[in-house]
Chains A and B, each alone.
Chain A
Amino acid sequence: MHVHTSEFDPHSKDPVTKPPLDPHLKALENEAIYIFREVAAEFEKPVMLYSIGKDSSVLLHLARKAFFPGRVPFPLLHIDTGWKFPEMIAFRDATAEKFDLDLIVHTNPRGAAEGIGPFSHGSAYHTDVMKTEALRQALDAGKYDAAFGGARRDEEASRAKERIYSFRTPDHKWDPRNQRPELWNIYNGMIRRGESVRAFPLSNWTEVDIWRYIQAENIELPPLYFAKKHRYVERDGMLMWAEDPRFEPLPGEQIQEGSLRFRTLGCWPLTGGIRSNATTLDEVIAELEIATVSERQGRAIDRDQAGSMEKKKREGYF
């Protein structure tokens, strides 16, 4: 029999030596890699939803690990609402370049033509058109049968009910009352044409896990996560970033300047900053440990109405 000798050394380029991950993070990492590989092997056309935030950054890092020494075998899809922080867009493009990724950016052409935005149309309608509808358009256009997302079960009550493989009908509907049983780590990837699966490799991670992993693995993040002087206004209990030309103060509103950082990143009018002086990962984590409010407290769209996230998810939102 021919004995094959491999010349290819996957670590020919400067191997990085780091202290080993603690067993908890290692187990989470192993689980995520397993899910990535399983989806990539079972589906014809997977795509990874990439929203530039910390969870997306961890998700991408895990994808690179799962397929190493090969490249990530599916494209990344960013739904651009047109209201993202400019720093996020710059970070996205630099990341795609650096890691040799196929990046697809989609903005809902209808919404863009009609000038739909959070100020003129309200947060709920803006999210519905520029995120949910845009996502459905992009998934349909790409004929993707599986889409990775960075959602975690600890984020929100209806997300706590998600499967790791979340089945969606051809019109992207999620039926929380009729989900496939998911036993052990055996995932059922059988679907009919048009149907799809949303896959969540970070399901069992918590916010603290994400930050500790970012620290342990030295994962680069958009600078908005770290405190810096920003101009902002206080509106409805939220610290709204006020540096975009489209921002207009309401009567009586004062533009202030101060050290802020963002705990989650979304559209800037819907994602509030927090007062913080944490400029390093260690400081961010220290701040998080004593936080008395949840991560999504600064997110307007979760609070539009009762059961808000569940309604959005039923309609195809992540």
Chain B
Amino acid sequence: MTQTATLAVASVAPHADTAPVIRDSRPLRLITCGSVDDGKSTLIGRLLWDTKAVKEDQAATLRRDSGQQNDLGLPDFALLLDGLQAEREQGITIDVAYRYFATDRRSFIVADTPGHEQYTRNMATGASTADLAILLVDARAGLLEQTRRHATIASLMGIKQFVLAVNKFDLVGYDKAVFDQISTEFKALALSLGVRQVTAIPMSALKGENVVYSGRSVIPWYEGPTLVETLELATLRSGQSTGFRLPVQRVSRPGESFRGYQGTVAGGAVKPGDSVAVLPSGQVANVKQIVTFDLVRNAAVSGDAITLVLDRQVDVARGDMIVSLDAQPQTGLAFDAQIVALQPDGIVPGKRYWLKAGSRRQRVQVEPVQQLDLKSGKWQAAEMLQMNAIGKVHLAFDETAIFDPYEQNRGTGAFILIDPDTNNTVAGGMITARRSELGGLNAHDGRVILSLPADLADELLATELLASRRDEVEARRLTTAAARQLLDDIDG
């Protein structure tokens, strides 16, 4: 049992110091994006090739399919990625492909996403789960509208780490001025999107310079890391800063005496004895047991697939959310969100869509408000969102919706929209805020809602009177300023 330290699928040579490395065993998820012909498939092919993730028989097939090989004696790397017949025929990437490779330090899942505008939905698909985005530009062409679109979608989806790969650098004579200009321009774009972590790397994916191996011999003035070194040091994104969240997927009743709520923890942590609320009903209970196949556990954290047993009979169904009593998500009938429209019909104002978030599916009416102009980077009024548009929308629900802002929790702040006519996924969205509902103050299934400064709310809830009637009280903890604002709103 000594092999765990050497379990890498493939190993990479460039680290001269072969001191034992501690592997981060969780893979880094990344996407590559950029415009058509910027060389994305070639770059990933190069990554797979140089990290020895391509096996001999696959290499032989590749050499056979490549036909005319380039003057470096290397096969056409793009063929490693573009596995579909239509992709090979047209020489473009149509759909997102997922590839796996590893170095001694870390393993990676890369989503190779298409550059063509028509397939932006697949780029968004890849971005939704990525920790880091590699944006490729052709050194000869510089930043294009697609670069801006992809960077924008990646940042909207919460990616905070960008690598700017200035590719085909050999074709501009390894000119430092070209690199400086493109990277300065890109850093300004990234900053305008709120992304502060940008690593710009001059490279030639075709020749393998600064991808896995150093390109110092041809680009001596570049002293930064290679692409793989950058990826090895990147951090996994932490998606959540909220309390305990368990979207209930299923109720497990294997026998009369057992009732467990199955789901994956989407935020925070939980342990037996914790007080929880079931949303949207607001019922309160305590956690009795956390059951998994292997053992009854003392605690569960974000990401754990568990079965939760409560200490009393409460009514819980799929789509409900079990949450910490003292740090609850937002509930309401109206939310603001940002969405990416993914299908040819776009997003039609006033149309009722299905919205799915976690395990909860409900009807929603979508009202477009603004659309992002990718050329200027400015938001403009919009009544309708076409395919590939990035927009701000109002969401209006028939029944209580439960969300956290996406910024605080990716798991409980994201959703998809499904067209009820075609069943197709037509948009991906991120909750930005709850819209205030003045009508909500007395329209909440007869329960009393107290909106109070946090310390006062806690004091009130601790009194004997309220402790016995917790089920009937929904406390919204507000800052004093927010409470004042709410009072002003009501008076006004």
Contact = CB atoms under 8 A, between A and B. Distances in A.
Nearest to B260: A69
A208 B294 contact: no
A294 B25 contact: no
Contacts of B88: 307
B125 A6 contact: no
Contacts of A315: none
Contacts of B3: 282, 285-286, 289
A70 B56 CA distance: 45
B9 A208 contact: yes
A263 B65 CA distance: 26
Interface stretch (A19-27, A117-125, A133-141, A251-259): A19-27
A250 interface: no
A34 interface: yes
A154 B55 contact: no
B9 to A, nearest CB: 5
A188 B424 CA distance: 8
B254 A156 contact: no
B305 A29 contact: yes
Given A181-B121, A310-B85, A10 B26 contact: no
Contacts of A90: none
A310 B414 contact: no
A68 B109 contact: no
Interface string B103-124: 0000101000000000001101
A29 B65 CA distance: 36
Contacts of A246: none
Contacts of B329: none
Interface string A85-123: 000000000000000000000000000000000000000
B257 A66 contact: no
Interface in B240-287: 249-250, 252-260, 262-264
Interface stretch (B66-74, B197-205, B415-423): B415-423
Given A11-B296, A286-B3, A297-B57, A30 B414 contact: no
B311 A3 contact: yes
Nearest to B419: A190
Interface in B17-35: 25-27
Given A184-B129, A186-B415, A192-B423, A37 B263 contact: yes
A1 B313 contact: yes
Given A40-B250, A65-B292, A6 B259 contact: yes
Interface residues of B, number: 85
Contacts of A310: 83-85
**Residue among A40, A186, A286 with max Cβ neighbours from chain B (10 Å):** A186
A63 to B, nearest CB: 11
Interface in B319-361: 342, 354, 356-359
Contacts of A190: 354, 418, 423
A276 interface: no
A204 B29 CA distance: 11
B318 interface: yes
A64 B293 contact: yes
B366 interface: no
B6 interface: yes
Contacts of A184: 128-129, 410-411, 414, 416, 428
Contacts of B80: 157
A161 B95 contact: yes
**Residue among A23, A182, A291 with max Cβ neighbours from chain B (10 Å):** A182
Interface stretch (A45-53, A143-151, A172-180): A172-180
28 contacts: A1-B313, A7-B257, A8-B257, A15-B296, A38-B249, A41-B250, A41-B359, A66-B262, A67-B252, A69-B291, A70-B252, A153-B100, A160-B97, A177-B84, A177-B94, A181-B124, A181-B125, A181-B416, A183-B129, A184-B128, A184-B416, A186-B357, A186-B414, A285-B7, A289-B6, A297-B55, A306-B85, A310-B85
